[in-house]
Amino acid sequence: MNFDFTEEQNMLRDSVARFVQDDYNWDKRCAIAASEEGMSAENWQTFAELGWLSVPFAEEYGGFGGSAIDVMVLMEQFGKGLVLEPYLATVILFGGLLQKVGSEEQRNTLIPQIIEGGLQGAYAYLERQSRHELADVTTTASAGANGHVLNGEKVVVFNGMGADQFIVSARTSGEQNDEAGVSLFLVAAADVQRAGYQMMDGQRVANIVLKDAPGVLLGEEGAALPVMEDIAQDANLALCAEALGIMEKLNATTLEYTKTREQFGVTIGSFQALQHRMVETFMAYEQTRSMVYRALCALTNGEEDATTAMHALKVLVNRNGRLIFGEAIQMHGGMGLTDELDVGHYAKRLMMINTSFGDGDYHQTQFNERVYN
Q: Per-residue DSSP letters for 2-31?
A: --PPPHHHHHHHHHHHHHHHHH--HHHHHH
- 122 class by beta-carbon count within 10 Å (0-12 exposed, 13-18 middle, 19+ buried): buried
Q: How are beta strands 204-218 and 140-144 bridged, if at all?
A: unpaired
Phi, psi at residue 315, to the nearest 5°? Answer: -65, -45
Q: What is the DSSP letter of 54?
A: G
% the chain with pLDDT above 90 = 87
Q: How are beta strands 165-171 and 262-263 bridged, if at all?
A: unpaired
Q: How are beta strands 266-267 and 262-263 bridged, if at all?
A: antiparallel
- The answer to whether 79 touches 241, Cβ cutoff 8 Å, is yes
Other Cβ atoms less than 10 A from the Cβ of 235: the count is: 19
The CA-based dihedral angle spanning residues 304, 305, 310, 315, taken in that order and rounded to the nearest 10 degrees: 160
* pLDDT at residue 116, rounded to an integer: 97
- The answer to whether 352 touches 359, Cβ cutoff 8 Å, is no
Whether residue 3 is predicted with pLDDT greater than 70 in this model: the reply is no
Range 341-358 average pLDDT: 95
% the chain with pLDDT above 70 = 99
Instruction: Compute the distance between CA of residue 373 and CA of residue 363 in angstroms, rounded to an integer.
Output: 15
Per-residue model confidence as pLDDT tens digits over 105-142: 999 999 999 999 999 999 999 999 998 999 999 999 99
- 359 class by beta-carbon count within 10 Å (0-12 exposed, 13-18 middle, 19+ buried): middle
Q: In Å, what is the CA distance from 195 to each residue of 128, 190, 216, 355?
A: 14, 13, 23, 21
Instruction: Compute the distance between CA of residue 300 and CA of residue 49 in angstroms, rounded to an integer.
Output: 28
| Domains located in the chain, CATH noted | 7-115 (1.10.540.10), 121-222 (2.40.110.10), 226-372 (1.20.140.10)
Range 221-238 average pLDDT: 96
Per-residue model confidence as pLDDT tens digits over 134-173: 999 999 999 987 889 999 999 999 999 999 999 999 999 9
Burial 192-215 (b: 16+ CB within 10 A, else e): bebebeebebbbbbbbbebeebbb
Task: Output the pTM of the full model.
Answer: 0.95
Q: How confident is the model at residue 312 (pLDDT cuts 50, 70, 90)?
A: very high
Q: How confident is the model at residue 2 (pLDDT cuts 50, 70, 90)?
A: low
Q: How confident is the model at residue 234 (pLDDT cuts 50, 70, 90)?
A: very high
Torsion over CA: 266, 267, 270, 276 (sign): positive
- The answer to whether 363 touches 239, Cβ cutoff 8 Å, is no
